[in-house]
Amino acid sequence: MSNRVYITGVGIISAIGNNVSENLSALETGRAGMGEMNYLQSIHREKIPVAEVKLDNEMLAVASGLPAHFTRTALLSAIAAQEAFSNASIPGFTKLRSGFISANTVGGMDKTENFFSDFLSKPAKGKLRNVVHHECGAATEIVASLLGIKHHIATISTACSSSANAIFYGARLINQGMLDVVIAGGTDALTKFTLNGFNTLMILDNRYCQPFDENRRGLNLGEGAGYIVMVSEKVAQTLPSIPVCTLSGYCNANDAYHQTASSPDGTGSYLAMKGALEKSGIRAEEIDYINLHGTGTQNNDIAEGTAIKLLFEGHYPPMSSTKSFTGHTLGASGGVEAVYSVLSIQHGLIYPNLRFETQMKELPFTPVTTFKKNEAVQNVLSNSFGFGGNCSSLLFSKV
């Protein structure tokens, strides 16, 4: 029996759709999710675009089956995780050792912010139920309970690489024979704290972002959740249909260059991609598509681009940043983009990098700008690079 980890289900909610089907439709038609804030209350409302999920908390509660007073982070997580679980169709699930590994960076901060606003105006007015789920792990435990998962529950929070790390942590648990099934990915909701923090760093774009463009100005923040279901080969053999792909490689590297900036020479990015390739045994020239980290900031794009130039010189595969659709969903981004990577293999898709105009002068390649169907996609590399130089790459391969 090999220790291959198979992907058997995906689920997602983002600014471009409330499920897999809606996300695919938006990706094909080039419909981005950015716009003026509708649900987040901020003094920057008319100045900074964001990529919000197009449902308020009451609507999310109905879709998730959770109470509306739960955090938006948990509500988003529940919707995507349940879709992934349903999509997986695993027979005899209750008899298997299962895990839920979920990432986020803001926890229940959306509710906490509202609590303190009310509390400061009148101490008796603040509702304590808005702070009891503040910590990052609360959303994970709420959704694990909803899914009926009890064997292993964990929360990962490593900034923008969070849910990529959650995914390969889950894969390692399967590889080590500790679990049979893992639902892994991440979730994050927009909050005033996040928006104000990134605005202080001066890396937000007041227009729609242009990842990997010479004239890029910064990122657009987004929200959402994305999960994949991974199973052992033993479980895969019991499924009604053959899984689409495996998680063939993964790697985390940390160049510790700066608290928020990436190493300008792309050290962490290079080591993460190189490590994922080495673990999989797949050569660089065999990669058919790269889902770029591609935030649209000056620093991140040149760091990632420099690493790709070094690693793929002579063979630059098609690549694009789907953050041009969803915005940067932070702790959810690795999960959201893992879902897109699996769908790329399943349907033979290459996604466009929206709003690209001018090639970066430092790089010999450009991202894909048109949606491509019926492509021979065998291997997809997905990058998620975070604060502190915490860089992770996932490699998905067709079965």
Catalytic, 69? Answer: no
Asked if residues 313 and 276 have their Cβ atoms less than 8 Å apart, the reply is: no
Return the bridge partners of 396, or none. Answer: 247, 380
List Cα–Cα distances, 100 to 141, 142, 181, 332, in angstroms. 9, 11, 9, 15
> CB–CB of 382/164 below 8 Å?
yes
| From 133, 209, 245, 293, active-site residue | 293
Q: Which helix (H) or strand (E) holds 148?
A: none
Residue with token string 């990058």: 383
DSSP string, 1-63: -----EEEEEEEEBTTBSSHHHHHHHHHHT----BS-SSS--TTTTTS-BB--S--HHHHHHH
Instruction: Tell me whether strands 152-156 and 98-103 are parallel, antiparallel or unpaired.
Output: parallel
Catalytic, out of 136, 209, 245, 328: 328
Of the candidates 160, 209, 245, 251, the residue annotated as catalytic is 160
Q: Is residue 70 a contact partner of residue 79, using CB atoms and an 8 Å limit?
A: no
**Is residue 347 annotated as part of the catalytic site, yes or no?**
no
How many C-alpha atoms does 73 have within 13 Å on its Cβ side?
33
Q: What span, in angstroms and rounded, lies between the C-alpha atoms of 259 and 225?
A: 25
Query: CA-CA distance, 208 to 16, in Å (whole number)?
Result: 14
The DSSP 8-state label assigned to residue 137 in this structure reads H
Whether 134 sits among the annotated catalytic residues: the reply is no
Q: Where are the alpha helices (DSSP H) in the chain?
A: 20-29, 57-64, 72-88, 109-121, 136-147, 162-175, 192-200, 233-236, 267-280, 298-312, 323-326, 333-347
Question: Can you tell me whether residue 91 is helix, strand or coil?
Answer: coil
Catalytic residues: 160, 293, 328
